[in-house]
Amino acid sequence: MPEIAITGVGVVSPIGIGEEAVLDSLLQCRSGLRGLEHPGLSRAFPVAPVEAEFNAGFTRIELPFLDRTTQMAIVASRQATEAAGITDFTDFGERAGVFYGTVRGGGHTEWEWVRQFYVDGRKTAKPYVIMGCMANAPAAQLSIRHQVRGPVASHTSACSSSGASIADACRHIHAGELDIAIAGGAEGVLSPVFLGAWDGLRAMAAVADDPSRSCRPFSRDRTGLALGEGAVFFVLESLQHARARGARVLGRISGWAVASDAHHIGTPHARGQISAMRSALRMAGLEPRQLDYVNAHATATRGGDPIEAAALREVLGDAAPRVPVSGTKGLHAHMLGAASAMEALVCLQAIRHRFVPATAHLEDVDPDCEGLHHVPQVLRDRRVRHALSLSAGFGGTNAALVLSEAEAH
């Protein structure tokens, strides 16, 4: 079994900034969704923005070069490295890396330039526009700020991006190529242009009478997904390296896998999800019955949830009625490139604090999603030794992560 230690976590999310704030929201089943109206949009949308202040510490000179996505990534990564007890990574030389996942990159910077071009009539962009828009800008900024001298990789596999980035970091550490890495993802794309584009997919939820209940994974009456934003990063290192420097181990990543279903650019297929989950469990040396919790991708779309439910029933087999399964996007919404990392954090908190998170707003399970041990509305107290997080992305790339207790039992 691979020995990848988690020694630091940082998060900027719609349900809290910092690990403790997110934990409190999960325990209270408190949603970060609200309704958003904009004169340029045809209707209101349910969204989950980061509304708390998080960008203190950036200078007026720095800010133009730091897209909102990058700002959130820096803050979350700073939390993670401080939790891991690391001021900078210079001493690790080329044995440290950054692995980052995103769908869009610097969406706010691009939207502001489009507005200036078409509305204000500007013909030349400010020099920071390209630097802010680049998909790899957050990863580069993390490398610079934390003085990481090894590989710096940006993964863009849609909604599984940060899961793929974490898996890549684990692979490098497990292979002995790195000792330590910052890995996760960030996304900040709640602009009118992006929301309108997503609405064109007919996948966005209607705003419920209570906007906080607009996203209802696995529910018979679900109407679609809600978009969120945020950033989540982990400090990962070999268990041997963590112990040698006296680091506190929060948990372990004991298995990981990335698999494509090679089916359709916008429609998932169960076979890729099945392959990713089975490969991750095999690496972790676990049987499905040994799982204590599964955090599902569960976007609350009409087509996606039943396909995922079928994949979970296939993988869990006889254990399907007993292994708790929940989806937490009803609270933090779909954070796109940060979604996998956010849900891995949920799994880690379930392990550390001994509870199974609930699927918010789930009152009536869709018949096509039955056959699983759903956790509707109210969390359950339970020791969680091993948890599986599954993420599925447009284009068919699926990422599965198995998280385990800090010490193997």
pLDDT score recorded for residue 408: 65
**Does residue 208 belong to any structural domain of this protein?**
yes
**Residue 173: inside a domain, yes or no?**
yes
Average pLDDT of span 261-282: 96
Instruction: Read off the CATH number of the domain in which 58 is found.
Output: 3.40.47.10
> 358 and 217 in one domain?
no
- Same structural domain for residues 276 and 217? no
Residue 87 resides in a domain: yes
User: Which residues have a catalytic role annotated?
Assistant: 159, 297, 334
Residue 204 sits in the same domain as residue 261? no
**173 and 179 in contact (C-beta within 8 Å)?**
yes
Domain boundary among 244, 278, 302: 244
Listed residues 244, 260, 281: the one ending a domain: 244
pLDDT tens by residue, 125-169: 777 888 888 889 999 999 999 999 999 999 999 999 999 999 999
Condensed to tens digits (0 to 9), the pLDDT of residues 195-210 reads 888 888 899 999 999 9
- Mean pLDDT along residues 71-77: 96
pLDDT at 307 over 60: yes
Does residue 292 sit within a domain?
yes
Residue 120 has pLDDT above 90, yes or no: no
Residues 238 and 267 in one domain: no
Residues 223 and 289 in one domain: no
Mean pLDDT calculated for residue range 318-334: 98
In a shared domain, residues 64 and 88: yes
Distance, in Å, from the CA atom of 339 to the CA atom of 52, rounded to the nearest integer, reads 19
Residue 409 lies in a domain: no
Do 288 and 352 reside in the same domain of the chain? yes
Do 299 and 239 belong together in one domain?
no
Residues 219 and 260 in one domain: no
Q: What is the 3-state secondary structure (H, E, C) of the chain?
A: CCCEEEEEEEEEECCEECHHHHHHHHHHCCCCCEEECCCCCCCCEEEECCCCCCCCCCCCCCHHHCCHHHHHHHHHHHHHHHHCCCCCCHHHHHHEEEEEECCCCCHHHHHHHHHHHHHHCCCCCCCHHHHHHCCCHHHHHHHHHHCCCCCEEEECCHHHHHHHHHHHHHHHHHCCCCCEEEEEEEECCCCHHHHHHHHCCCCECCCCCCHHHCCCCCECCCCCECEECEEEEEEEEEHHHHHHCCCCCCEEEEEEEEEECCCCCCCCCHHHHHHHHHHHHHHHCCCHHHCCEEECCCCCCCCHHHHHHHHHHHHHHHHCCCCEEECCHHHHCECHHHHHHHHHHHHHHHHHHCEECCECCCCCECHHHCCCEECECCCEECCCCEEEEEEECCCCEEEEEEEECCCCC
Residues 112 and 224 in one domain: yes
Same domain, 111 and 213: yes
Residue 361: the pLDDT is 97
On whether residue 42 sits in a domain, the answer given is yes
Q: How many domains does the chain have?
A: 2
Mean pLDDT of the chain: 94
pLDDT in tens, 208-230: 999 999 999 999 999 999 999 99
Selection from 4, 3, 5, 8 nearest residue 235 by Cα: 8
Domain range for residue 292? 252-404
- Final residue in a domain of this structure, among 186, 220, 244: 244
288 shares a domain with 232: no
Is 289 a member of any domain?
yes
Band (2; pLDDT cuts 50, 70, 90): confident
Cα(89)–Cα(73) distance, integer angstroms: 17
